[in-house]
C-alpha cells in the first residue's frame, strides 16, 4: 500500500475509541477535523460532549522517518498555538501505545527541565496513546520518564 499513512491509521483507530467513550470530556460530539494532511487544522480537532475543544497532533514511529517525528512533535504543537480560536482549547499529542518507549527514549536526549518547560509553555494537557484495545492518557512528564535505561 504505497500511500499508507501511519498517522492517519492511528487517527482513525483513536477516533473509533473516542466515539465509544463513556467519558464526556473525551467523547466526540462534533468533529472538526480528522485528517493528518490538513493545513488549516490540527490532525484531530473536535468538541467533546463536555464542550471541550481538543487540538491533537498525531505522530507515529511506524515510518522510515520515525526519528524525524520526534522533532516534528514540537514544531506541530507550537504551530497550533499560533492559530486563531485557540484560547479555550486542550492541546494534546497522540502516539501509538507501542511507541511510548521509542518516544520516551528519544525525548530523554533533551534536558529534562527544558522538556518539562516546553510542556508547560504550550501547555500540553495530555499525551494520548492508542492501540487496538483502547486509549490511555499520560502526562507530559510520564511520557518523558517512561523509558527506564
d(C-alpha 129, C-alpha 136), whole Å: 5
Whether 108 and 141 have beta carbons less than 8 Å apart is answered as: no
Grid cell at residue 71: 522533532
Q: For the whole model, what pTM was predicted?
A: 0.92
- Domains of the chain in start order, with CATH, are 6-145 (3.40.1350.10)
pLDDT (tens digit, 9 = 90+) per residue, 23-50? 999 999 999 999 988 888 999 999 999 9
- pLDDT at residue number 4: 63
Q: How many CB atoms lie within 10 A of CB 2?
A: 3
User: Using one digit for the tens of pLDDT, what is the confidence trace for 51-104?
Assistant: 999 999 999 998 888 888 888 888 888 888 777 777 789 999 999 999 999 999
DSSP 62: -
| pLDDT tens profile 48-58 | 999 999 999 99
Q: Are 57 and 90 in contact (CB under 8 A)?
A: no
Cα–Cα nearest to 8, from 46, 79, 62, 67: 62
Amino acid at each position: 500500500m504505497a500511500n499508507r499513512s501511519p498517522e492517519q491509521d492511528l487517527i482513525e483507530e483513536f477516533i473509533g475509541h473516542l466515539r465509544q467513550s463513556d467519558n464526556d470530556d473525551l467523547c466526540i460530539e462534533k468533529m472538526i477535523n480528522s485528517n493528518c494532511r490538513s493545513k488549516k487544522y490540527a490532525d484531530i480537532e473536535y468538541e467533546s460532549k463536555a464542550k471541550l475543544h481538543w487540538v491533537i497532533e498525531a505522530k507515529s514511529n511506524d515510518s522510515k522517518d520515525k526519528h524525524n517525528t520526534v522533532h516534528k512533535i514540537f514544531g506541530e504543537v507550537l504551530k497550533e498555538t499560533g492559530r486563531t480560536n485557540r484560547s479555550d482549547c486542550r492541546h494534546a499529542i497522540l502516539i501509538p501505545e507501542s511507541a511510548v518507549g521509542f518516544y520516551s527514549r528519544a525525548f530523554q536526549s533533551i534536558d529534562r527541565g527544558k522538556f518539562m518547560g516546553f510542556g508547560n509553555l504550550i501547555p500540553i494537557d495530555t499525551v494520548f496513546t492508542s492501540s487496538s484495545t483502547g486509549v490511555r492518557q499520560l502526562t507530559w512528564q510520564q511520557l518523558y520518564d517512561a523509558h527506564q535505561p
